[in-house]
Amino acid sequence: MAFDIDMIKKVYANFGSRVDAARKVVGRPLTLSEKILYAHLWDGDPKKAFSRGTDYVDFAPDRVAMQDATAQMALLQFMQAGRPQVAVPSTVHCDHLITAKEGAAIDLPHAKTESAEVFDFLSSVSNKYGIGFWKPGAGIIHQVVLENYAFPGGMMIGTDSHTVNAGGLGMVAIGVGGADACDVMAGLPWELKFPKLIGVKLTGKLNGWTSAKDVILKVAGILTVKGGTGAIVEYFGDGAINLSCTGKGTICNMGAEIGATTSTFGYDESMERYLRATGRDEVADEANKIGAYLTGDDEVYADPENYFDQVIEINLDELEPYLNGPFTPDLATPVSQMKTEAEKNGWPLKVEWGLIGSCTNSSYEDLSRAASIANQAIEKGLVTKSAFGINPGSEQVRYTANRDGFLKTFEDLDATIFTNACGPCIGMWDRTGAEKAEKNTIVHSFNRNFAKRADGNPNTFAFVASPEMVAAIAIAGDLGFNPLTDTLTNDKGEQVKLDPPTGDELPTRGFAVEDAGFQAPAADGSSVEVLVSPTSHRLQLLDPFTPWEGTDLKDLKLLIKAKGKCTTDHISMAGPWLKFRGHLDNISNNMLIGAVNYFNDKTDNVKNELTGEYGPVPATQRDYKAAGIGSIVVGDENYGEGSSREHAAMEPRHLGVRAVLVKSFARIHETNLKKQGMLGLTFADKDDYDKILEGDTVDILGLTEFAPNKPLTLVLHHLDGTEEQFLVNHSYNAQQIEWFVAGGALNIIRREAAA
């Protein structure tokens, strides 16, 4: 399992001096977030102050974590980099590809068979390149990272948006796409726009039914799903110190639901307790040595308005439990008002399922508090009126919770214990009857509750709550049940009331586990063979993309002129396509199928200029590719917004699209296109978008003198024989032009590795 103490010591050795240098260049006391950012500059000691929300900065993250769905393409790309080992400690976690249905005893062996080729690939590629591999059933990536790898003051990236969970142990941990992970593993810097800062001051202490989950449910209600965009949320105050470490993880985890870059807490005793309980005395000892640097400066917390872009204050003494939903995690309703709100809005009150788990809420403390409610129910003669399911966060949590009797308590209440994995949280839930698409309500302790997220049924009304509240509502079977005030009728017909939950932050007898599910990599992986079947439908080794031919691009066919919103989901859809994430050719059959064709307002229906027929976008592009003809995609504003999914850039590249010309790009997608050796261009005059006509062929001129800040020229050849030409801009710097020339950034990394 081996957390890397040498790496941590190295980070801490420079931490203080870098923070001191940062204080000087910034000229004021620093928040914790700033300290961590300035201590992780790629160029070493801070030499200048960065502008929040404006400057792009190169960082040197300490770790990389990947989950099984996104790790596939990240590692297929990494194999192209030609490096013998990863440059920073990295891990892979098999948690997304395990369907929840009957319970762990049946579901886990089934998943291991069903996705054997993916797991075998990930295991072998990890073994070869020095990556720690967590087998299916070992647990959910973010819980496992918190238990084993997160450390105060560290910086981590992960190929999953809830990587931010590690803020619970005082990290700056950020979700990225596979291409970024590949770069960092290959030893390159990682670029991020210097974030804005939101401060959340917590006062008081949680009590009764309220939990850490309610803090973030309340914050989500205040900030909404977009309120944290581009910002780090930093929690501080007495209330923060009163929270457990895993509770802090819960709060940071759901920072993803308000769009925050990440969230974090300063190092405190709860973190020290957690480090020691999870076998990391050495990390705690090292952190204690530089403790003052691992939290924000006193002046900052004494006068937060002066240092944060926005400040929110929450008094934990007064906080109520919340239920957030349906269909969005920021619709926050205090439990006391839920009955009224549900009746007013027509939300079904009968609750079909209560689910506890996900990376957000599957810690030992979470299970212990939920078990205390389940235990009361048994003692007081109650049963669950809803179906009830539990996904423990890790094998260590499961084993310990089992030893301490919690799982038996849940089972006595008829709960199904699912695998230590994401399961229903990522829609890997084979829920009986979901296909009937009936209107129904579920409550869960997860983070996301968008339509179809858990069971694929658009009419499932999902509400997010703390594990103990989920347990109480599953027992009542009623969304409007308020355990603080309401009673339930037991098997003797008596009215009984549930007492507030109790639980243990950490197991009093310590954590235990027989086989945590970890596979250490080979010390020397040079002879390890990476397992990819040439006949696989789910995995395909990548071939390097071809370099630029050295001439202007002429006679490109217009593949599609996309109208309006074109997100990475429109370019490379998720859902059923997820299973092809490791197979570039197969997943390319979803390329741009969600984009609206400007000329007929249809999706996935464009004119094939070779046949004159209308047909699907991928098939049309494959025809052009087969004929050796390049093409161009034209788009509108903020093209490629959404996720950092690199498939949205790799698919067009793979199928022979040569350029993407838009009114404006979402920056991450623009960078992804550049990394893949594509031309990403913008209209110098946005009105020129209107000049693009169906059937146009396009020349891009000026490439032999391609240089930073020098526009290129676009020539349109219309079907009627007329021509128009105009300037197009680009944002390539000198290095990115080299990527274009080489046919992609990985071609350069490989060349350098071989030199």
- Contacts with ligand F3S by CB under 6 A lie at 95-96, 140-142, 160, 162, 358-359, 422, 425-426, 447
Cα(734)–Cα(640) distance, rounded to whole angstroms? 23
Q: How far is the CB of 656 from ligand F3S (least distance, A)?
A: 34
Of 52, 83, 93, 95, the active-site residue reads: 95
Q: How far is the CB of 426 from ligand F3S (least distance, A)?
A: 3
What are the distances in angstroms from CA 281 to CA 90, 202, 269, 462?
21, 28, 13, 40
Q: How far is the CB of 422 from ligand F3S (least distance, A)?
A: 3
Q: How far is the CB of 265 from ligand F3S (least distance, A)?
A: 19
Q: How far is the CB of 512 from ligand F3S (least distance, A)?
A: 23
Closest-CA residue to 622 (of 647, 591, 596, 667) = 591
Closest-CA residue to 71 (of 535, 574, 581) = 581
What are the distances in angstroms from CA 478 to CA 89, 241, 491?
46, 34, 17
Cα(469)–Cα(475) distance, rounded to whole angstroms? 10
95 is catalytic: yes
Of 448, 581, 583, 750, the active-site residue reads: 448
96 is catalytic: yes
643 is catalytic: yes
Question: Which residue lies nearer to ligand F3S by CB, 122 or 425?
Answer: 425
Contacts of 432 (CB under 8 A, 6+ apart): none
Q: How far is the CB of 141 from ligand F3S (least distance, A)?
A: 5
Per-residue tokens: 659: 């350029």
Of 18, 83, 93, 96, the active-site residue reads: 96
Of 68, 643, 647, 717, the active-site residue reads: 643
State the residue for tokens 């909404």: 224
Contacts of 71 (CB under 8 A, 6+ apart): 92, 122, 159, 178
- Would you call 740 helix, strand, or coil by DSSP? helix
- Would you call 755 helix, strand, or coil by DSSP? coil
Contacts of 247 (CB under 8 A, 6+ apart): 168, 211, 212, 365
Question: Which residue lies nearer to ligand F3S by CB, 446 or 511?
Answer: 446
Q: How far is the CB of 162 from ligand F3S (least distance, A)?
A: 5
Cα(679)–Cα(253) distance, rounded to whole angstroms? 36
Closest-CA residue to 474 (of 602, 597, 355) = 355
Contacts of 663 (CB under 8 A, 6+ apart): 635, 636, 637, 639, 682, 683, 686, 689
Q: How far is the CB of 446 from ligand F3S (least distance, A)?
A: 6
Let me know how long the chain is. Answer: 755
Cα(385)–Cα(441) distance, rounded to whole angstroms? 13
Closest-CA residue to 740 (of 679, 652, 662) = 679
Question: Which residue lies nearer to ligand F3S by CB, 295 or 643?
Answer: 643
Question: Which residue lies nearer to ligand F3S by CB, 358 or 588?
Answer: 358
Residue 547 per-residue DSSP state: P
Question: Which residue lies nearer to ligand F3S by CB, 161 or 457?
Answer: 161
Question: Which residue lies nearer to ligand F3S by CB, 283 or 356?
Answer: 356
Question: Which residue lies nearer to ligand F3S by CB, 142 or 647?
Answer: 142
Question: Which residue lies nearer to ligand F3S by CB, 447 or 590?
Answer: 447
Of 18, 93, 431, 645, the active-site residue reads: 645
Q: Report the catalytic residues.
A: 95-96, 160, 448, 643, 645
